[in-house]
Homo-oligomer: A and B are copies of this chain.
Protein backbone atom coordinates (compact mmCIF):
# COMPACT_ATOMS: atom_id res chain seq x y z
CA UNK A 1 0.00 0.00 0.00
CA UNK A 2 1.31 3.48 -0.86
CA UNK A 3 2.24 5.59 2.18
CA UNK A 4 -0.64 7.53 3.70
CA UNK A 5 0.98 10.92 3.44
CA UNK A 6 -0.82 14.23 3.88
CA UNK A 7 -1.44 14.77 0.18
CA UNK A 8 -3.15 11.43 -0.29
CA UNK A 9 -5.25 11.91 2.83
CA UNK A 10 -6.39 15.40 1.84
CA UNK A 11 -7.19 14.20 -1.68
CA UNK A 12 -9.28 11.33 -0.32
CA UNK A 13 -11.04 13.71 2.07
CA UNK A 14 -11.91 16.02 -0.83
CA UNK A 15 -13.37 13.09 -2.74
CA UNK A 16 -15.58 12.12 0.19
CA UNK A 17 -16.74 15.73 0.58
CA UNK A 18 -17.37 16.10 -3.14
CA UNK A 19 -19.44 12.91 -3.08
CA UNK A 20 -21.54 13.51 0.01
CA UNK A 21 -20.84 16.92 1.51
CA UNK A 22 -18.81 17.86 4.54
CA UNK A 23 -21.03 15.79 6.85
CA UNK A 24 -20.16 12.65 4.87
CA UNK A 25 -16.53 12.97 5.92
CA UNK A 26 -15.67 10.99 9.04
CA UNK A 27 -12.23 10.04 10.26
CA UNK A 28 -13.17 6.37 10.06
CA UNK A 29 -14.56 6.47 6.52
CA UNK A 30 -11.56 8.49 5.41
CA UNK A 31 -9.16 5.96 6.94
CA UNK A 32 -10.98 3.13 5.17
CA UNK A 33 -10.72 5.03 1.89
CA UNK A 34 -7.00 5.57 2.35
CA UNK A 35 -6.60 1.92 3.38
CA UNK A 36 -5.30 2.55 6.86
CA UNK A 37 -6.45 2.38 10.50
CA UNK A 38 -8.42 5.44 11.71
CA UNK A 39 -5.68 6.29 14.16
CA UNK A 40 -3.08 6.66 11.39
CA UNK A 41 -4.92 9.80 10.18
CA UNK A 42 -4.15 11.41 13.53
CA UNK A 43 -0.47 10.74 13.11
CA UNK A 44 -0.33 12.39 9.67
CA UNK A 45 -2.80 15.27 9.98
CA UNK A 46 -4.03 15.59 13.52
CA UNK A 47 -7.61 16.16 14.62
CA UNK A 48 -10.69 16.42 12.43
CA UNK A 49 -10.43 20.21 12.58
CA UNK A 50 -6.81 20.10 11.42
CA UNK A 51 -7.93 17.89 8.54
CA UNK A 52 -10.72 20.27 7.52
CA UNK A 53 -8.31 23.19 7.60
CA UNK A 54 -5.91 21.31 5.33
CA UNK A 55 -8.78 20.51 2.95
CA UNK A 56 -9.84 24.17 2.88
CA UNK A 57 -6.24 25.23 2.20
CA UNK A 58 -6.20 22.93 -0.82
CA UNK A 59 -9.58 24.22 -2.04
CA UNK A 60 -8.46 27.86 -1.73
CA UNK A 61 -5.33 27.03 -3.69
CA UNK A 62 -7.47 25.78 -6.56
CA UNK A 63 -9.63 28.90 -6.86
CA UNK A 64 -9.21 30.95 -10.04
CA UNK A 65 -8.66 34.70 -9.60
CA UNK A 66 -11.62 37.08 -9.79
CA UNK A 67 -11.49 38.92 -13.12
CA UNK A 68 -13.02 42.30 -13.95
CA UNK A 69 -14.59 42.61 -17.41
CA UNK A 70 -15.85 45.62 -19.34
CA UNK A 71 -14.50 49.03 -20.26
CA UNK A 72 -16.45 51.46 -18.10
CA UNK A 73 -15.68 51.52 -14.37
CA UNK A 74 -19.33 50.89 -13.59
CA UNK A 75 -19.49 47.82 -15.84
CA UNK A 76 -16.30 46.46 -14.32
CA UNK A 77 -17.70 46.85 -10.80
CA UNK A 78 -20.84 44.97 -11.81
CA UNK A 79 -18.79 42.21 -13.41
CA UNK A 80 -16.71 41.75 -10.25
CA UNK A 81 -19.88 41.54 -8.14
CA UNK A 82 -21.24 38.89 -10.48
CA UNK A 83 -17.95 36.98 -10.44
CA UNK A 84 -17.94 36.86 -6.65
CA UNK A 85 -21.49 35.57 -6.60
CA UNK A 86 -20.75 32.95 -9.27
CA UNK A 87 -17.61 31.76 -7.54
CA UNK A 88 -19.34 31.42 -4.18
CA UNK A 89 -22.21 29.50 -5.72
CA UNK A 90 -19.81 27.11 -7.41
CA UNK A 91 -17.85 26.37 -4.24
CA UNK A 92 -20.47 25.53 -1.62
CA UNK A 93 -18.29 22.94 0.11
CA UNK A 94 -15.49 25.46 0.54
CA UNK A 95 -17.99 28.03 1.81
CA UNK A 96 -19.40 25.59 4.35
CA UNK A 97 -15.92 24.63 5.53
CA UNK A 98 -14.86 28.26 5.82
CA UNK A 99 -17.99 29.04 7.84
CA UNK A 100 -17.45 26.09 10.18
CA UNK A 101 -13.77 26.92 10.64
CA UNK A 102 -14.29 30.66 10.97
CA UNK A 103 -12.23 31.41 7.87
CA UNK A 104 -14.78 33.20 5.69
CA UNK A 105 -12.72 36.39 5.71
CA UNK A 106 -9.92 34.58 3.94
CA UNK A 107 -12.24 33.16 1.32
CA UNK A 108 -13.95 36.45 0.51
CA UNK A 109 -10.78 38.52 0.55
CA UNK A 110 -9.71 38.23 -3.13
CA UNK A 111 -13.15 39.41 -4.26
CA UNK A 112 -12.96 42.26 -1.81
CA UNK A 113 -9.60 43.35 -3.21
CA UNK A 114 -10.87 43.18 -6.79
CA UNK A 115 -13.91 45.25 -5.87
CA UNK A 116 -11.72 47.80 -4.11
CA UNK A 117 -9.46 48.12 -7.14
CA UNK A 118 -12.40 48.81 -9.45
CA UNK A 119 -13.99 51.23 -7.00
CA UNK A 120 -10.75 53.20 -7.07
CA UNK A 121 -10.77 53.13 -10.87
CA UNK A 122 -14.32 54.53 -10.72
CA UNK A 123 -12.93 57.58 -8.95
CA UNK A 124 -14.08 56.89 -5.40
CA UNK A 125 -11.28 57.25 -2.85
CA UNK A 126 -10.35 56.88 0.80
CA UNK A 127 -12.98 56.05 3.41
CA UNK A 128 -15.78 56.78 0.92
CA UNK A 129 -14.51 53.94 -1.24
CA UNK A 130 -14.13 51.64 1.76
CA UNK A 131 -17.73 52.22 2.75
CA UNK A 132 -18.95 51.77 -0.82
CA UNK A 133 -17.02 48.53 -1.27
CA UNK A 134 -18.39 47.15 1.97
CA UNK A 135 -21.94 48.09 1.05
CA UNK A 136 -21.64 46.22 -2.25
CA UNK A 137 -20.05 43.24 -0.50
CA UNK A 138 -22.90 43.05 1.98
CA UNK A 139 -25.42 43.12 -0.84
CA UNK A 140 -23.60 40.31 -2.64
CA UNK A 141 -23.43 38.40 0.65
CA UNK A 142 -27.16 38.73 1.10
CA UNK A 143 -27.81 37.07 -2.22
CA UNK A 144 -25.47 34.28 -1.30
CA UNK A 145 -27.18 33.77 2.06
CA UNK A 146 -30.72 33.78 0.74
CA UNK A 147 -30.02 31.78 -2.39
CA UNK A 148 -28.11 29.26 -0.31
CA UNK A 149 -30.92 28.86 2.16
CA UNK A 150 -33.33 28.54 -0.70
CA UNK A 151 -31.24 25.72 -2.15
CA UNK A 152 -30.99 23.95 1.22
CA UNK A 153 -34.74 24.13 1.80
CA UNK A 154 -36.21 20.83 2.87
CA UNK A 155 -39.06 19.34 0.79
CA UNK A 156 -41.50 19.54 3.72
CA UNK A 157 -41.05 23.23 4.55
CA UNK A 158 -43.01 26.15 3.18
CA UNK A 159 -41.61 28.55 0.59
CA UNK A 160 -41.90 32.31 0.74
CA UNK A 161 -44.28 32.06 -2.20
CA UNK A 162 -46.62 29.71 -0.34
CA UNK A 163 -46.54 31.96 2.70
CA UNK A 164 -47.58 34.95 0.61
CA UNK A 165 -50.40 32.99 -0.99
CA UNK A 166 -51.66 32.01 2.44
CA UNK A 167 -51.42 35.54 3.87
CA UNK A 168 -54.70 37.27 4.67
CA UNK A 169 -53.85 40.95 4.95
CA UNK A 170 -56.13 43.70 3.64
CA UNK A 171 -53.60 46.48 4.21
CA UNK A 172 -51.43 45.26 1.35
CA UNK A 173 -52.66 45.74 -2.20
CA UNK A 174 -53.72 42.45 -3.88
CA UNK A 175 -51.55 43.20 -6.92
CA UNK A 176 -48.50 43.65 -4.68
CA UNK A 177 -49.31 40.51 -2.69
CA UNK A 178 -49.50 38.66 -5.98
CA UNK A 179 -46.16 40.10 -7.11
CA UNK A 180 -44.52 38.97 -3.87
CA UNK A 181 -46.04 35.51 -4.25
CA UNK A 182 -44.41 35.08 -7.63
CA UNK A 183 -41.00 33.36 -7.48
CA UNK A 184 -38.19 35.85 -7.95
CA UNK A 185 -35.67 35.64 -10.77
CA UNK A 186 -32.58 36.06 -8.62
CA UNK A 187 -30.30 36.73 -11.61
CA UNK A 188 -32.39 39.71 -12.70
CA UNK A 189 -32.85 40.78 -9.11
CA UNK A 190 -29.12 40.64 -8.44
CA UNK A 191 -28.34 42.86 -11.42
CA UNK A 192 -31.09 45.27 -10.40
CA UNK A 193 -29.97 45.54 -6.77
CA UNK A 194 -26.27 45.94 -7.60
CA UNK A 195 -27.12 48.51 -10.26
CA UNK A 196 -29.33 50.54 -7.90
CA UNK A 197 -26.78 50.49 -5.09
CA UNK A 198 -23.90 51.45 -7.40
CA UNK A 199 -25.96 54.24 -8.96
CA UNK A 200 -26.50 55.76 -5.56
CA UNK A 201 -22.98 55.13 -4.28
CA UNK A 202 -21.30 56.49 -7.40
CA UNK A 203 -23.68 59.43 -7.46
CA UNK A 204 -24.55 58.99 -11.13
CA UNK A 205 -28.16 58.02 -11.48
Using CB atoms and an 8 Å cutoff, list the residues of chain A in contact with chain B: 99, 101-106, 108-109, 112-113, 116-117, 120, 125-127, 129-131, 133-135, 137-146, 149-150, 152-154, 156-160, 163, 167, 169, 171-173, 175-176, 179-180, 182, 184, 189, 192-193, 196-197, 199-201, 205
Contact B143 A138 (CB under 8 A): yes
Question: How many protomers of this protein does the assembly include?
Answer: 2
Select A172's contact among B120, B173, B180, beta carbons within 8 Å.
B120
A103: shortest Cβ distance to chain B, in Å?
5
Contact A189 B131 (CB under 8 A): yes
User: For A116, A125, A129, which residue has the most chain B Cβ atoms within 10 angstroms?
Assistant: A116
Contacts of A163 in B (CB 8 A): 105-106, 109
Q: A134-B184, A138-B139, A176-B120 are in contact. Are A157 and B106 (CB under 8 A)?
A: yes
Contact B135 A196 (CB under 8 A): yes
Contact A138 B172 (CB under 8 A): no
Contacts of A135 in B (CB 8 A): 139, 189, 192-193, 196
Select A196's contact among B103, B192, B200, beta carbons within 8 Å.
B200
**Cα distance A124–B146 in the bound complex, in angstroms:** 23
